[in-house]
Structure 1
């Protein structure tokens, strides 16, 4: 799954090439690409045609295009902006291509723009898709989000992210810190890769309990999450295969700079100890046994860890 930096790279590409353009025509070529849009493919095509894309936005890993009010479709009341919510899934790509470019093998949606270019949704594994949703006010600020993303918290890259409020929330919970970092209702945008990288930077094991970590330690973890994602964003995201590309078809290369994720048995860049891989739900966690000592049950239950 793409994580926050990858989604932000795509958002910036859409902002550059698509915002301000009018959608002149839409073709849905695969029904699964619009399965989240309950009224169906023809309704999505009708609602998008003639709309102007006014913004490309993101909250955590949720991505959407804001569409001007336009003429109401069959499932939409008159007036008001809408969101075209883009679910990238495991392999979804938003590609801006000239109309003369050959069709990609897994081209599921083609959107023609008044610039003469096409915005194409390509998805090899068909887990992603598009859906139109109303925009609703957020409970934590002045902006609006699609109703399907209203439960998603702000992410550490958000200029309105309230670090101290998130620290307070974490302190009220009794769960492992890595599980809490992956809870998108607490803090969004942090996936498995960047959780491991942030915890390594903060020198905290992912199994430590949130209510046993001090506020300075929790602030350090959230700051580390911000920093590692900012570094990844600077390098274009994390790409492990050819399925992740930005709107220009260029892959990210941050995987070359990862410190612990996917580096089992290789030396820790900080202390040289072999990186350890452990099972985590249906995924894996990577950590340094020396820099990030696992909590001992007795110690974890005795009081707050960290200063």
Structure 2
């Protein structure tokens, strides 16, 4: 399943192509892909057609596009002219301030692709969204999903509990998609609070990796980047959280931030064709992984220090954890 870097790659691509453009029509080709929209296809389409995409926002692995309807009097609903600017679609039109958003859940195989009408439909095309014309820009946003674990739905935007932006976007707004309101900020969010993270970690009595995967403590980290962050920080996944020193926690957050920044630069991690960016390209960070998927291979850090150590794989929460037994020694009191 895509983690923060993969979703952020998609967000950046979408922001370039769809921000400031109006949805002209929508085709729902497979109702299963909008099953989270409880009122059905007709209501889903009615909420999208003639709406303007104001932005593309991400918190953790959650992705949404705030929407608004055009007005003709040159002012927003509060009498204040909206700020313009777009990465591609021209200045944003006059709009009513947003209250709803199109939310995308990629699941295990969901893809959001920007394509022109002449491109043949993909085998697993589920939803087609046509956008207002913009010079040099693809006209369609297509949702493709082979395994149908993902989907699209329209949701309400609610005020953020801390008054900060709902997530990472081009035009920060203090609103968040209702389904994402319960999750913590992620390490790449400028409003991420280390103090809040450390307080939550110390209050739990569990293993360190379990906390990293808990989206209410820190969001956006899944199995791949948890293993990579722990390897970079030199910490074992079973380290009890109540024994974690402040310096260790700071090193872990920085390691998570660094590994996800590196993954972003490489376009994310792709092990197969199911994860691609909006142009259909795969990421290549898998070539730079140091722990995840490296079972039986030498630990690169130990090798650089002249030590011999082999990455090992252990069962963890119906998944796997990959560690170096030398530079990530298992704690004596590690129970998880």
TM-score, L = length of structure 2:
0.85
Give 1:172 deviation, angstroms. Answer: 1.3
Work out whether 1:113 is the aligned partner of 2:131. yes
Distance verdict in 2 for CA 1:101–1:109, change over 3 Å:
same
Cα offsets for 1:110-148 (capped at 9, x unmatched): 001112610000000111100101100111332211111
The answer to which of 114-123 and 57-66 deviates more is 114-123
Q: 1:88 aligns with which of 84, 106, 109?
A: 106
Equivalent pair of 2:206/2:241 in contact (CA under 8 Å):
yes
Give 1:186 deviation, angstroms. Answer: 0.5
Give 1:164 deviation, angstroms. Answer: 2.1
Give 1:69 deviation, angstroms. Answer: 4.1
Equivalent pair of 1:69/1:82 in contact (CA under 8 Å):
no
Q: 2:193 aligns with which of 162, 184, 190?
A: 162
Count of residue pairs brought into register by the alignment: 293
Work out whether 1:176 is the aligned partner of 2:204. no
Give 1:70 deviation, angstroms. Answer: 5.4
Work out whether 1:276 is the aligned partner of 2:276. no
Give 1:165 deviation, angstroms. Answer: 1.8
Equivalent pair of 2:66/2:98 in contact (CA under 8 Å):
no
Give 1:295 deviation, angstroms. Answer: 1.0
Give 1:100 deviation, angstroms. Answer: 1.1
Cα offsets for 1:181-212 (capped at 9, x unmatched): 00000000011000000000000000001110
Gaps in structure 1 of 5+ consecutive residues: 72-77, 302-307
Distance in 2 of aligned mates of 1:122 and 1:70: 28
Distance in 1 of aligned mates of 2:283 and 2:6: 8
The answer to which of 274-283 and 108-117 deviates more is 108-117
SS at match of 2:302: coil
Distance in 2 of aligned mates of 1:285 and 1:82: 39
Please list every run of at least 4 consecutive aligned residues from structure 1 whose deviation after the TM superposition is greater than 2 angstroms.
78-81
Give 1:173 deviation, angstroms. Answer: 1.1
Q: How does 1:110-259 map to 2 (within 5 A)?
A: 110-115=128-133, 117-142=139-164, 143-259=174-290
> In structure 2, what is the equivalent of residue 75 of structure 1?
none
> In structure 1, what is the equivalent of residue 13 of structure 2?
13
SS at match of 1:248: coil
> In structure 2, what is the equivalent of residue 60 of structure 1?
60
> In structure 2, what is the equivalent of residue 288 of structure 1?
324
Cα offsets for 1:209-237 (capped at 9, x unmatched): 11101011011101100000000001100
Distance in 1 of aligned mates of 2:37 and 2:195: 37
> In structure 2, what is the equivalent of residue 74 of structure 1?
none
SS at match of 2:300: coil
Distance in 2 of aligned mates of 1:134 and 1:187: 23
Distance in 2 of aligned mates of 1:291 and 1:79: 52
Give 1:169 deviation, angstroms. Answer: 1.4
Gaps in structure 2 of 5+ consecutive residues: 72-95, 165-173, 304-308
Alpha-carbon RMSD across the aligned residues, in angstroms, is 1.5
Distance verdict in 2 for CA 1:70–1:43, change over 3 Å:
farther
SS at match of 2:301: coil
Cα offsets for 1:260-281 (capped at 9, x unmatched): 0000010001114100100011
